Structure 1
Amino acid sequence: MSMFSRSLRRFQAQDTPAENVAPDHTRSSIATVTPRRVAVVRGRVRSATVTPDGPRWLEATIDDGTGELVLIWMGRHSVLGVEQGRLMEVEGLVTRFQGRLAIYNPKYTLLPG
């Protein structure tokens, strides 16, 4: 048995301590999210634009009634379904971009309505 196989078998046999399990992220309002934390928020797209100069990316702003959050997809000029007025739920690491709360390359779900 190779060293890799032994290590893999030993790893698979270990119990995972509760503190190592990823937390279940519950949906938050934009007003309550903070930078350097993973957040799940739901909001409506208020604007979606592509940067005109330099590296291309799609920038969309969502609003949930409590605040706004910028979503940035690096290297993309469009993301199917992300358009003004669309309701969506996003998840990702919150950061600051030009003084505004932002998530880069978020996981997202397009919602009806």
Structure 2
Amino acid sequence: MADRSITSGGRVGVLRRVLRRVAASNEDLEDDELRQSSIDAGAMTVADAALRTRVKLQGRIEVLTLNPKGTNRWLEAELSDGTGTVHLIWMGRRRIPGLRAGRRLAVEGLIAAVDGRRVIYNPRYQLLNE
């Protein structure tokens, strides 16, 4: 009797996961994949990253912008790992070869909160294979 409940419970669990994936949007599936690849690589997720600590994150560049105002130029990227986003700011940089929207990236740095958003200034980075 116990074996049947374990087996049927296992089937229900598998069926639940299959139905969830079928009903999920492409964006949800991509977020799940990004989150899992970050964890598999040994990186922390943005959602779990504590402020004022050094973190290692991995994700995809969603937005890449250049602040051209005055002499204080910087390059800003929004990195998403499926659990949240963090803004990466490279002060004094106009561009980084190979960095573009959609590119996967691993970063390391001190995470802070600025105007209600998570930010890492001048992070160390590594471009990842796509």
Give the TM-score, by structure 2 length: 0.65
2:59 corresponds in structure 1 to 43
- Aligned residue pairs total 88
* Seq. identity, %: 43
Q: Tell me how far apart the structure 1 counterparts of residues 95 and 108 of structure 2 sit (CA, whole Å).
A: 18
Find the partner of 2:89 among 51, 66, 72: 72
1:107 aligns with 2:91: no
**Deviation at residue 68 of structure 1 after TM alignment:** 0.2
- Higher strand residue share: 1
Q: 1:97 to 1:80 in 2, by over 3 A?
A: farther
Q: What is the Cα deviation at residue 53 of structure 1? A: 1.8
Pairwise CA RMSD: 1.1
Corresponding position of 1:52: 68
Q: Aligned equivalents of 1:53 and 1:108: distance in 2?
A: 25
Q: What is the DSSP-based 3-state SS (H/G/I as helix, E as strand, rest coil) of the residue aligned with 2:94?
A: coil
Q: Which residue of 2 aligns with 1:86?
A: 103
Task: Report the AA paired with residue 83 of structure 2.
Answer: T
CA distance in 1, matches of 2:114, 2:89: 9
Greater per-residue helix proportion: 2
CA distance, structure 2, for counterparts of residue 84 and residue 60 of structure 1: 8
Instruction: List alignment gaps of at least 5 residues for structure 1.
Output: 1-25
